[in-house]
Structure 1
Amino acid sequence: MFLVPPSAAYIGYVDFRVLALLFCLMVVVAGFQECGLFVLMARKLLSGENNFRQLSWMLVMLPFFCSMLITNDVALLTFVPFTILILDMIGEKKHMAWIVVLQTVAANLGSMATPVGNPQNLFLYGRFSIPAGSFFAVLLPLTALSFLLLTAAVFCIPRIPMQIRFDAPAAAPEKNALPALFLFLFLLCLLSVFRVLDYRIVLAVTVVCLLLFDRKLFRTADYLLLLTFVCFFLFAGNMGRLDWLKRFMGEILNRNPVLFSALTSQFISNVPAAVLLSGFTNDWKPLLLGTNLGGLGTPIASLASLISLKFYIKELPDKVSHYLAVFTAVNIAFFLILYAAASFL
């Protein structure tokens, strides 16, 4: 990490705005999870579904749309276990690999639609001060195409007649005041992401609210991810001060920045790839496209994909090879189509 001798300049490498907003979003979304709002919403949407294909479509679209606001990681942490429970309940576990893989792809692709959908978007949006209109103009067409592709993929699932009935009604949130508080904090986060409110104000308000109302949420933040960001900030800052490396990486990125960003993501994951490569280019558009499309591919291309894999292994440990085969085939197919579409943007 210390290719350049440590100095006061190291502090300047760290993007404290991104770290603060990531922390705030983590604990606020965890608060929503604690209230049971996401599962309650899912149960209301799924209750009464009359055929398996329709049910599968709903299960895939839940992480697709929710990831736009609660991040791809949280969407999968919430809805994959719920899906496994549903499939076990109706005796359709044989379709689990297909549906969980589609959920994983849906969360990764749905999350690219907004600056808060995934960590690399949040970082790049702030790093390059991307105008909101330009951001959405680049990624919403691909998000719309992703929606159509996911819908088409669901048609591979048989249209088996069935009906979902939950034995007991979903419990309402125990602490009625907290959902409103978390909604307020989430809106503050959005205002800060879109540069309406200073991130330090949002961080201070969030910390004070947690101290007063729900201290255990401090334990829900992914501090390892935050530390990873700090390490890559320092690493990328060091790399950027080596002129020969900067020229070399700049030349590679100029050839095919979208593909290079996507390929880099396959080996180090798309979040570190975004942080690392941002130091070698001022052209945010291909980097944004490449790191989002780069979430498709290997299980480590997007660390959110490992969440689904972990749940699947726990449920069907003897079918992991089948899952990985389906995962690889679906990811490659989606990547090739979306990469071709991205060339027209």
Structure 2
Amino acid sequence: MPGQRLTRLLNVVTGEVEDRVTSARLATTVPYRVDVQAWRGAPRARLEFSAPRLLRGDNRCPATPQEVLEVVRRAYDEVGEHLPWLCDVAGLSVERLDLARDFEGVVDGPLLLDELSRVPAVRMGTQTFRSPEHSGTQTVVRETTRHRGQLYCRDFHYLDRARQTRSAEKKEHLRTLAAADRGVVRFELRLWHQQAVEAGAGSLSELTSSPLEDVAKRFFLDRCRFGEVVAGPASKLRQAAEALTIAGAGKELVTAFGQWALDALGLDPGRHPQTASTYRRRYQGAGLTPSDLWAVERAPVRFDWALGRVVAAHSVGRAAA
């Protein structure tokens, strides 16, 4: 088997040297990446592939759980011609699961993503990626060691790939895909094995019974907070003032807003750090960030999960029957 990794062991008593294969990559004609390794003293094979790409040639349209099962069964049979499986296909574990939800007809996607990137996530780190040829944010990534959620503009994704390729034919193909996906923003949730287990999709047999859409929606809204309202500073200030008043902190509006402005300008408040921190927590709890002071004024909007579109902040989405 090519691509082998060996561990060389020396017997200090006899002086004999033994080469032991620890892992290898299977080189076959099947369109899957197949890695084989010794794990805790037992053989283990890992398959990696994109189900939509195998089914349709690209990942523009996500695969359904049933389609994923069909692709895995096919891969199981084809790889089984080269390696003997020690379990049936239902016993395969899910090491990584990617879930997707598209939002269509999005206007000013990079600007919306730029504003959402400043909304703090819940127990997740945040990274933003900007395209060198476009203003605003192309991708917002929020992740931990067990899961990763990203929101990105599909057309800019293809345009960046077209810019990096040298093939004229491939470049033109990618530009065509970018035109077809103009105004599409996709949310992708990646679950590694432990998180997939907690979501009830740790094995292939559980894939069709797990509430995957509810899992993706929960991460989108509650952890990544991509469903939060984004707007210009005037609207957000009014909402923050109302939130502070409802919370019983209406008397601290001046100090909370004053601390917000000082932080935005990078000025020393001239008061005890603990006092400044108290007022800072007030405006942060009301949904404000210092960068809101410099935001472009716009009507409040949000990503509606049920409708798959951007809607006015007061709208309530309802999925079609």
User: 1 or 2, which has the higher strand percentage?
Assistant: 2
Which protein has greater RCO, CA pairs closer than 8 Å, 6+ apart? 1
User: 1 or 2, which has the higher helix percentage?
Assistant: 1
Query: Does the pair score TM above 0.5?
Result: no
TM-score, normalised to structure 1, is: 0.27
